[in-house]
Amino acid sequence: MKKMISLILCVLLFAACISASAFAADAKVLKVATNVAFPPYEYYEDEKTVGIDVDIMQAICDKLGYTMELSDMEFGSIITAVATGKVDVGFGAITITEERAKSVHFTTSYSTGIQSIIVKEDSPIATIDDLHGAKIKIGVQQDTTGDIYATDDFGEDHMARFNKGADAVQALITGKCDAVIIDNSPAETFVAQNKGLKILPTVYAEEEYGFEMSYDNEALYNEVNGALEELLKDGTVQKIVDTYIKAE
C-alpha cells in the first residue's frame, strides 16, 4: 500500500513539473530598459522600481498578458539596446525627435514635458540669455534632449555632462556648474529635495514623450502601441500621471 501511495505521489509530482514547464514555456516576457534615476518617471523606492513610465508599462503588460523584465542602464545606452534587439521597449521620459526616430520606432506620445532650468536661489542667472555668459557651466544628463539642445544653443565649452540628473544637481549644489537643464517634473523633485535651489520661471523647451521600440518587430509594436492607445483613451495613463504629479 505504501509503495502504491508513493507511486501515485511520484506520478502527480511528475505531472505538476510538466505542467509548470509548459506554463514557463508559454509565458510571454517583455524586456524593457530604462535609467532608474529620473523621478517621478522612474526611480527606486524601498529597492522597488516605481514611477510614471514603470506603471504605464506595467499596465500595458497586464493588458497584453506579458511579464515585464526590466533592466536598469545608462540613459545613452537605451536606444542602442532597443535598436539592436537586446530589449523590446525603452523608456525614461524619452523625447520623440526626428533624429532618434531614425534608429527606433516611437509609440504614440503618452505625456508632454518641458525642459526647465535649475539654479541656486542666490544665482545671478535670471533668464535663459544669462546662460550665454563666458564662464557659465551648464549641467545636464548626458544624451538627453537637455544635453542636445543646450549644446546647440550655448556651445560645447559650456557643457558639464553627468550620467544621472541627480549628479548634475549635486554638481550645482557644490559649485561645479552654474545651472542645470532638465525635464520639469524631475526638476521639481530635485528642488524639493535640496534646499537653496529654484527653477527659473521660464520654459526652455517643450516636448512629447514616447516609448522606443525596434522597427524589426512590427507585430509587437502594433500590440504594445495599441494597448497604450487604449490606456490613453480610457483614462488609465492620466490617472497614473496624476498619482505622481499633483495638479496645482
Has residue 142 been placed in a domain?
A: yes
Has residue 181 been placed in a domain?
A: yes
- Same domain, yes or no: 140 and 181: yes
- Same domain, yes or no: 226 and 186: no
- Same domain, yes or no: 198 and 222: no
Has residue 46 been placed in a domain?
A: yes
Contacts of 99 (CB under 8 A, 6+ apart): none
pTM (2 decimals)? 0.80
- Same domain, yes or no: 32 and 89: yes
> Which residue segment(s) compose the domain that 101 sits in?
27-110+210-244
What gap in Å lies between CA 44 and CA 24, rounded to an integer? 28
Cell of 56: 504605464
- Same domain, yes or no: 143 and 178: yes
pLDDT tens column, 24-42: 335 699 999 999 999 999 9
User: What CATH number did the domain enclosing 228 receive?
Assistant: 3.40.190.10
pLDDT tens column, 180-221: 999 999 999 999 999 999 999 999 999 999 999 999 999 999
- Same domain, yes or no: 100 and 220: yes
Has residue 198 been placed in a domain?
A: yes
- How many whole angstroms from its chain centre is CA 191? 19
- Same domain, yes or no: 187 and 73: no
- Same domain, yes or no: 166 and 238: no
- Total number of domains constituting the chain: 2
Pairing type for strands 179-183 and 138-141 reads parallel
